[in-house]
Amino acid sequence: MAANLEQQKQTTEDLRQLVLQLRQALEQRDAIILKHEQTIQQTNHTLGILQQILFGRKSKRVTPRDANQGLLFNEAEADAASSAESEATGQVVEKVVKRSKIKQSGRRRPAGQLERVEVLHDLSDEDCACPWCNARRPKIGEERSEEIEVIPAKVIVKVHVRAKYGPCSCDDFIGHDEKSIITAPGPTRIAPGSLFSNNTAAFIIVNKYSDGLPFNRQEAAMERYNRFLWTG
């Protein structure tokens, strides 16, 4: 009887230890899960900021130059810190306020490096004639005004003509193992066998990956430039 009681006590103590171990294991697991959840939240927050910077609207993007703009709203804290520092050191700190440049009003002119094409507008001989003596009025000057004109792209087919040369008829040439026909080398292409030139390929790639213009829209634009782009 006493042995049975002792065995039951031992079994109860073992079960109690097992429960404590399981509880500690559960607490450790919950702590690990909580840590992982915090890490996931931080990672999602960082990923959201990066996506906003890379793919968000331009008005909402944060560039490195604008990263310190948030400090503009901490003027009170900055002034308090500077005044406390000056009182501690006994020095007088003078603030230099720079005047912002005043933007010049008026109409902007086109860039100077753009090509200029002059179009002359003149009066007819009848309009320039004096109504009394019928003599031509003297020219005293000109008035100039500029406007920007965008010339649409023009699709052309560039034909590369490679010259070919046959064998020479001299005896020395015939007696040696020389190539009977030689051809001038053609242009080096980004994609061999492509119908598009390197300039056209670069134009299409920039429109696709820099300006976000899909290929089907680019093809439609080219068809507007020239009525028929493909034959057959």
The C-alpha atoms of residue 202 and residue 205 are separated, in whole angstroms, by: 5
Strand segments, DSSP code E, in 17-94 are none
Q: The pTM is what?
A: 0.40
- Name beta bridge partners: 129: 136
User: Taking the domains of the chain in order of start, what are their residue ranges?
Assistant: 1-58, 150-225
Which H/E stretch holds residue 165? strand 164-165
Cα distance between residue 194 and residue 192, in whole Å: 6
Cβ-count burial of 197 within 10 angstroms (0-12 exposed, 13-18 middle, 19+ buried)?
A: middle
Print pLDDT tens along the chain (232 aa).
566 667 777 788 888 888 888 999 999 999 999 999 999 998 988 888 887 777 766 555 555 555 555 555 455 555 555 555 555 555 544 555 565 566 666 677 778 788 899 999 999 989 998 889 989 899 899 998 888 887 877 778 899 999 998 888 887 777 677 788 889 998 888 888 888 888 888 888 898 898 888 888 888 887 776 655 554 4
